[in-house]
Structure 1
């Protein structure tokens, strides 16, 4: 039976790293998004893991961020990964959706995600205007998206940094 649960690092961490390697390959550490994650800690209580018969088959990790000179709080959603054997099932949207609900319930104002607009647009993410958000490295602005949680994501503007 498939379950989507909060991440328990002691139980899930090794399997999640194996899933990231299988999904993205070793090059995923070179991405700009990793610059945000390397100086932060994920939020296991908001992150979600898909477990099928005891095996981790999907994950949406969530990280605290600040944006702009006012250091507005936001959550960074990703990486979102689904085991190759379960891709195409829309599981990534289900996992991310549950993580979004957790972020909203915890009172976080907004979510940021770097991904495919056609896919993540289905759960309320919208592409930001070009250069509204800047990252610690090159980023395809057409893939930078935000979504309201307990606040207004349209207010996010400026440099995105680890919390």
Structure 2
């Protein structure tokens, strides 16, 4: 049985980093999305971890605070989302992301930003932003930049996206 729980860094951090390395390889640190995570800390109370047998990590959705545009609008950046190979195919990644979205909304965060596959994440309410609406500290495929309302309105987000 899989339980989806908030991240407890002391219990989960090492296993999560191992899962990221196995899922994405060492090259994931070169991606533009990593520029948003540098010098920032994820939000453990919003992060969600899938565990089996009480403590074996088989999936994760990490979430990071952002500032967007000249006004400094607050948002959460969802990802990376990773699922252990043995647990793929059952929509665990979507379930983790949905649980983290609900936690972000409950915590009062206005909006969610995600870089990913529209066909996949569109199933849980993410929509692709108009080209150029959100810019990043490095190259980014604009067709994969998506937003979703949480406790506010994601459509107001516009400008440079930076880590908070």
Q: Aligning the two structures, in what range does the TM-score lie when normalised by the shorter sequence? A: over 0.9
Aligned positions, number: 163
Instruction: Give the CA deviation at 1:86.
Output: 1.1
TM-score w.r.t. the length of structure 2 is: 0.98
Name the residue aligned to 1:141: 142
Match in the other structure for 1:6: 6
81-90 or 43-52, larger mean C-alpha shift: 81-90
| Structure 2 Cα separation of the partners of residues 31 and 88 of structure 1 | 25
Q: CA deviation at 1:117?
A: 0.3
1:60 equivalent in alignment to 2:30: no
Query: Secondary structure of the residue that 1:19 maps to in structure 2?
Result: helix
Q: Which structure 1 residue ranges, 4+ long, deviate > 2 Å from structure 2?
A: none
**How far apart in 2 are the matches of 1:68 and 1:135?**
10
Look up the SS of the partner of 1:113 in the other structure: strand
TM-superposed CA distance for 1:143, in Å, is 0.3
Aligned to 1:99: 100
Q: Deviations over 1:107-148 (max 9, x none)?
A: 000000000000000000000000100000000000000000
Runs of at least 5 residues in structure 2 that lack an aligned partner in the other structure: none
User: How far apart are the structure 2 equivalents of 1:6 and 1:15?
Assistant: 14
| Structure 1: gaps (5+ residues) | none
Distance in 2 separating the partners of 1:84 and 1:136: 31
> Mapping of 1:1-163 within 5 angstroms?
1-53=1-53, 54-163=55-164
Q: Offset at 1:21? A: 0.7
TM-score, structure 1 as length reference:
0.99
DSSP-derived class of the 1:73 partner: strand
CA RMSD across the alignment: 0.5
1:39: Cα distance to partner?
A: 1.6
Take 1:149 and 1:42, find their aligned partners in 2: how far apart are those partners? Answer: 17
